[in-house]
Structure formats: C-alpha cells, structure tokens
Copies of this chain bind each other. A is one copy, B any other.
Amino acid sequence: MTPRFILTLRCSDAVGIVAAAASALASAEAFITESSHFGDPETGLFFMRTVFHATGTRFVTRSDFAEVMAPVARRFEAELALHLADERLKVLLAVSRQGHCLNHLLHQWHAGELPIDVVGVVSNHDDLRRMVDWYDIPYHHLPTAGDKAAQEARILDVVEASGAQLTVLARYMQILSDDLCRRLEGRCINIHHSFLPSFKGAKPYHQAHARGVKVVGATAHYVTSDLDEGPIIEQDTVRVGHGLTGDAFVRIGKDVESVVLSRAVLWHAEHRVLLNGRRTVVFREGA
C-alpha cells in the first residue's frame, strides 16, 4: 500500500486557500481521505489538516508532495508541515512516583495503539524503573536534589540524545524553569490533575475537596512558562459525591488523567493539534 501523508497548514485566512491546497494535491493525483478546516473569525487565522495518499506514479514521495505544496505555502505565507503518517513520533516520558499515566501510555504504545516511539523515561525518583525495564526502554534517574539547572540540563541532554520530538510530563510533579519551558515550547505536554483553570498548583484534588465541588477533572496542555496556563488540548471530568475524601478524589481522578493525557498524546502525534494563540485547534478523529 502507498504511504499516507498528513499535511497541516496555518496562515492568515483568505479566499482560495482550500482551493489552492486541494488543487495542488489533485494535480499530483493525491487521494484525500480526511480533511478538516477551520477559520477563526477572531484571530483571522486559517487552519487545515489533510490526510492523503498517492494514486499516480509521478508524485509518490514526501519530497514530491513537499514540492507540490511549496507554491501554496509561499502564496499564502503559510506554515506548512508534511508528515509521513507511518513515521512514529519519538516521545520522551517524564514521571515522578505515581505510575498510572506512565502505565497507561506504555501499555497503549506496546499494544500498537499510539503512533509513537517511546525513546525513554526520565524521573526524579527511581521508583518506576522496574516498570520501564519491562518495556526495554532506557530509564534515566535524574534526582532534583541540589542544582536544578544542572538537572534540567541533563533532561535536555536526554531529549537531544534520544531525538525526542515530544516530551510528556506524565505526572512529573516538578515545575520546569522558564528556560526549559521555552526550549520545549510546543513540544511538551503536561497533565494537570484538575479541571483548569480551577485549582492550579499543588494538591488540586484536595483544593477541590475543600471547595466542595461535585465534579473533578483533568487537563492536558502544552507547557509554557506560565504555570498551568498553557494552551489546553483536552479535558474531561468525573462526578464525585459528598462522601469521598480528598484522597478518594485522587484515586478516582487517576483514570481521567490517564485517558485525557493519552488522547492528547495521540492527537499531537497524529498532527491534529494546531496552536491558535493561547488556545488550540484540535481536529478530532472521526469528528
């Protein structure tokens, strides 16, 4: 079977973008299997994601189609990216001591349900090494005691050495420095264990319990230097009754965290998430 390609495009909205992009693809005999567009009337930006494969013999490779699309990108001054759908995203996972998100992501990856390659796990603790060993991937124990800058430099070393294209804070529980946030901008996803913007910072479930909420949630977002304020990718919620303690909130919330984070990773890896200022456009699978 011929490879599938994923094209994403972002530019100022204008007449003729869809026509230009689609015509370029049609001229190269590309068969479109998925296509999503969104023009934001507020920001004046246009977003597009198209999945296609070759049906002809002249245009076949990634560089063939990159050449076909280049004039479109120039004409609309668009940011354009073209990915091979089967090229798995290299992902580095970061954890502290809670293993539920890690366990869920690793299992899904191992079961072939996430189009990623997990290139390693970094942790400020050694607790989860045995779980990671089972999957035959490197475990980097980088304690935070002492020099924070040095520890973060070692994280960046791992990112670079492993070629990680995405870093996932799967309950990492450390606040990254502004510098590290900037370096990983747009390629670092965090799971926050509350329904943001409620209950930022530490112990969100216990904050939620003290406030007496009837629903708790989890939020996957891109990391920025503004703590728990990065663009949201996905959120979900679960009901909680008056008889549950804060610790019970913690336990019940774990499943929501795992599911929300794995959806965010899946969608990022499938190039479904595009940045729109402080917000995201998420072209969800199956709409």
Contacts and interface: CB of A to CB of B under 8 A. Distances in A.
A164 B82 CA distance: 48
A34 B243 contact: yes
Interface residues of A, number: 81
A219 to B, nearest CB: 8
Contact of A286 (B22, B197, B248): B248
A104 B99 CA distance: 11
A224 interface: no
Q: Is chain A's interface secondary structure helix, strand, loop, or mixed overall?
A: mixed
A278 B210 contact: yes
A26 interface: yes
Nearest to A47: B242
Contacts of A100: 107, 111
18 contacts: A18-B25, A19-B23, A32-B39, A33-B41, A103-B103, A103-B107, A113-B254, A195-B215, A196-B198, A211-B278, A212-B279, A215-B237, A239-B239, A244-B285, A248-B286, A255-B262, A259-B259, A284-B287
Given A33-B41, A197-B213, A255-B255, 11 more contacts: A13-B31, A16-B26, A18-B32, A21-B22, A34-B38, A36-B37, A113-B251, A196-B213, A240-B286, A242-B281, A243-B287
